[in-house]
Structure 1
Amino acid sequence: MPETLAPALQTTTPTLPAAVLWDMDGTLVDTEPYWIQAEQELVAEHGGTWSHEQALQLVGNALTVSAAILRDQGGVALPLDAIVDRLLGRVVEQVRREVPWQPGALELLTGLADAGVPCALVTMSYAALAEEVVSRGPAGAFVTMVTGDQVSRGKPDPEPYLTAAERLGVDVGACVAIEDSPTGIASARAAGIATLGVEAVVPVPYLDGLSRAASLEKVDVATIARIGAGEVVDLTL
């Protein structure tokens, strides 16, 4: 009597998300040191000092919020718009010399493009900086951008992410967001998006339902598909 073979195990790949919505500073590019340097230089011009610990409280904020903190805590005696312009101009200058892509970012962007997953950039930096970064990345990697000067309520409000999904014409709940800061993570989750927190200059805390990774080098298209399908992934080890 012939031996009965056990049926082969079948594996299925989760459906890809409708879109991936990327934060920029700290997530896509390691520009946080550029911002911190610009803050320290500006405060020093006004006779003050700006510690690394003080700089960390600005990570992920709307630029006008950061400008108010620099005015109130750093003694920068300029109008808020002028503070934003000075910081932004300095960081743009540095990015034009070198775009500090986060390890694994370009590979993931390329993989998503090859898989037909549209991407949007959702950043509290202004368009002047976002355009510089996008223009130096893979052609066509981002379908649209939502920047801090295009929304009335910045992160942690959900408006930036809701706006990105609307511009893409997709269900916001069918997207995956990639973030690095508590402020950005709060924004994406408030919009109802499955979110991956990637560690950069500040730790990504454990939160119920939040996926985490120590680096984008640990993340591929299959990982994004799993997160979009509702799995909570922890790649911090």
Structure 2
Amino acid sequence: MTPTLQTLSNWSPEAVVFDCDGTLMDTERHWQNARNRAFREFGLLPPPGFAERAKGVHYVDCGRLMAEETNKPELTAGLTTALLGHFLSLVAEDPLTMPGACEVVRLLSGRLPLAVASNCPLEVVEESLGRAGLRRHFRHVVVPTVPPGNPEEPKPVNDVERSDAVRPKPWPDVYTTAARLCEVLPEAALAVEDSLTGIESAWRAGLRVVGVGPLPDGGNTGYADAWVMALDCPEVLGWVRGWRRSSPPW
């Protein structure tokens, strides 16, 4: 059975952390188109079901997966570079928001600390939110600072200290960091996510999680506390309007 907002009806978060792709910004289709363009650029066909497996995956991991599943490991670097290049071009042409995203963010802006936790490069998130007029509502944007690949321990990159290193989802680091920057305990914060990878990341960090969008194949909602079809549905807007203001306000 799909979990509903009823399970969270008597709870109000002290901060909200949003995923970007597919949650705030309608960019998942851009990633899909970019993957298809990258495959075509190298004369390859997407493996069956690849789009679902790639959803929410860091683009470097995705490039590696594209090469592995087409039995072309030597093309990993080229596919990864092509994937990001095609995606950036598509976002610049068409920065659309997901239904209800702008309304929910604007309802919360100034009432609660807001952050974004994304697996995308920082320039992608900043560009997408900026073009949509949403960037000013978020005090913090958290993205990975270490290479993907699920390392057992975070490794510093450039001048990033080990204690400040942030691994990509499904590691919990982006959400743990976002909650800390918002100055709330993880269990007092809400994550809003559209992928099972992101939901796992937020759950591992200790946040409550609302999944949004079409249910994944098989109806598996992972670790989500609740699932809604879109942020503009009346039950979501009514729930959000009823939250108490964070104290002290900022």
TM-score range, shorter chain: 0.7 to 0.9
TM alignment of 1:1-237, pairs within 5 A: 16-51=12-47, 53-74=49-70, 75=72, 77-80=74-77, 82-114=78-110, 116-136=111-131, 137-138=133-134, 140-149=136-145, 152-200=166-214, 202=216, 205-206=220-221, 210-218=225-233, 219-220=236-237, 222-223=239-240
Q: Secondary structure at the match of 1:212?
A: strand
Unaligned runs of 5+ in 2: 1-8, 147-164, 244-250
Q: Which residue of 2 aligns with 1:4?
A: none
State the percentage of identical aligned residues.
28
Q: Is the 8 A contact 2:196 2:222 kept in 1?
A: no
Q: Secondary structure at the match of 1:176?
A: strand
TM-score of the pair, normalised by structure 2: 0.76
When Rg is computed on C-alpha atoms for both structures, the one with the higher figure is 1
- For residue 166 of structure 1, report the CA deviation from its aligned partner: 1.7
Residues of 1 paired with 2:225 and 2:57: CA distance?
20
Q: Deviations over 1:121-151 (max 9, x none)?
A: 1110111210111212235211111113465
- For residue 99 of structure 1, report the CA deviation from its aligned partner: 1.2
- For residue 220 of structure 1, report the CA deviation from its aligned partner: 2.0
Q: Is the 8 A contact 1:36 1:52 kept in 2?
A: no
Q: CA 1:110–1:223 in 2, change beyond 3 Å: closer, same or farther?
A: closer
- For residue 225 of structure 1, report the CA deviation from its aligned partner: 6.2
Could you say what the CA RMSD is over the residues aligned between the two structures, in angstroms? 2.5
Q: CA 1:39–1:201 in 2, change beyond 3 Å: closer, same or farther?
A: farther
Unaligned runs of 5+ in 1: 1-12, 227-237
Residues of 2 paired with 1:208 and 1:42: CA distance?
32
User: Matched residue pairs, number?
Assistant: 212
TM-score of the pair, normalised by structure 1: 0.80
